[in-house]
Amino acid sequence: MKTAITELFGIEHPIIRGGMHFVGFAELASAVSNAGGLGIITGLTQKTPELLAKEIARCRDMTDKPFGVNLTFLPTFSAPPYPEYIAAIVEGGIKAVETAGRSPEQYMPALKAAGIRVIHKCTSVRHSLKAQQIGCDAVSVDGFECGGHPGEDDIPNMILLPRAADELKIPFVASGGMADARSLVASLAMGASGMNMGTRFIATKEAPVHDNVKHALVKATELDTRLIMRALRNTERVLKNSAVDRLLEIEHERGRSLKIEDIHDQVAGVYPKVMIDGDMDAGAWSCGMVAGLIQDIPTVKELIDRIMADAERIIRGRLVGLLDGTEIKSTREVA
């Protein structure tokens, strides 16, 4: 399948695996790129720019296909050394960067000078337009369903994607709630040029996380995520567990006076405990509603091949069939 996104990033399938803290290591990034998508190393999971340079080199040893790096601009006073991270990306020969969080505006000249294609993750049309204005090549439009930070507007993808299509001139991928061929075909129908998946890729054989995490995703339903940190305007969608229950109690008690220190125990240093040790109650970790659509733990290649084959069947068999009266299958049978 050829779309503006496959052409922009030089990939075979219009599927991106967005940055994920303590998940986006070289193993998963290379697996996605080898399967024809765009794999992404999560920049800030590497504690220093030197370690990021090593991770890029490690990924380069595992694939000769294009892969990218995620740079998340955090709302923090002690910012990581972003210019040094960008130097590691440029020197590592990376040609695709997924930015997220705050606007990447001040870093655009350095990224563009190195010939890097920038895709910025946005949870609103106005931020997408700003990304377009500052020279981003594409955006990843992240709906309310998404795992991680859905922003504060709460607009689901059925509305957000067509709104983005109406306003944007640059290509965009649909992000948040994407799991299978149905997600891809629906996104294409709404004007996207591909899709970005986070949570779904954690439940794959190559994801370098503890098996407990993968099994928790298979077990979870679409009812099992919670929104935390609303009062801090730093909303995050996470998987419900005992630590999240406690966190929500604290949020309820503190109300609008909530401070980040109040929930320090439930949010600080959680990711290695969950992803590496498999301690599923260690604290709050990002997870999308799409958990309800995850029923298995395939290899990345099996997942991507299945999505692309089913997408073709949905388009040719169901959609074209609906038009010419030969439609025979329900989406459930083909997806």
Ligand X SMILES: Cc1cc2nc3c(=O)[nH]c(=O)nc-3n(C[C@H](O)[C@H](O)[C@H](O)COP(=O)(O)O)c2cc1C
List residues binding ligand X (CB under 6 A).
18-21, 23, 42, 70, 72, 100, 121, 142, 145-148, 175-178, 196-200, 285-288, 290
Please, what is the minimum distance in Å from the beta carbon of residue 58 to ligand X?
Answer: 19
Q: Which is nearer to ligand X, 22 or 30 (CB)?
A: 22
Please, what is the minimum distance in Å from the beta carbon of residue 29 to ligand X?
Answer: 12
Q: Which is nearer to ligand X, 119 or 168 (CB)?
A: 119
Please, what is the minimum distance in Å from the beta carbon of residue 64 to ligand X?
Answer: 24
* 227 closest CA partner among 77, 123, 139, 297: 123
Please, what is the minimum distance in Å from the beta carbon of residue 238 to ligand X?
Answer: 9
Please, what is the minimum distance in Å from the beta carbon of residue 294 to ligand X?
Answer: 10
* Position with the least CB separation from ligand X: 198
Q: What is the 3-state secondary structure (H, E, C) of the chain?
A: CCCHHHHHHCCCCCEEECCCCCCCCHHHHHHHHHCCCEEEEEHHHCCCHHHHHHHHHHHHHHCCCCEEEEEEECCCCCCCCHHHHHHHHHHCCCCEEEEEECCCHHHHHHHHHCCCEEEEEECCHHHHHHHHHCCCCEEEEECCCCCECCCCCCCCHHHHHHHHHHHCCCCEEEECCCCCHHHHHHHHHCCCCCEEECHHHHCCCCCCCCHHHHHHHHHCCCCCEEEECHHHCCCEEEECCHHHHHHHHHHHHHHHHCCHHHHHHHHCCHHHHHHHCCCCCCCCCECCHHHHHCCCCCCHHHHHHHHHHHHHHHHHHHHHHHHHCCCCCCHHHHC
Q: Which is nearer to ligand X, 173 or 314 (CB)?
A: 173
Sign of CA dihedral 255, 160, 166, 101: positive
CA atoms within 13 A on the CB side of 322: 8
Q: Which is nearer to ligand X, 55 or 145 (CB)?
A: 145
Q: Which is nearer to ligand X, 287 or 314 (CB)?
A: 287
Please, what is the minimum distance in Å from the beta carbon of residue 256 to ligand X?
Answer: 27
Decide if 21 contacts 201 (C-beta within 8 A): no
Please, what is the minimum distance in Å from the beta carbon of residue 257 to ligand X?
Answer: 28
Cα maximum dimension of the chain: 61
Q: Which is nearer to ligand X, 34 or 73 (CB)?
A: 73
Q: Which is nearer to ligand X, 19 or 317 (CB)?
A: 19
Q: Which is nearer to ligand X, 76 or 330 (CB)?
A: 76
Please, what is the minimum distance in Å from the beta carbon of residue 24 to ligand X?
Answer: 7
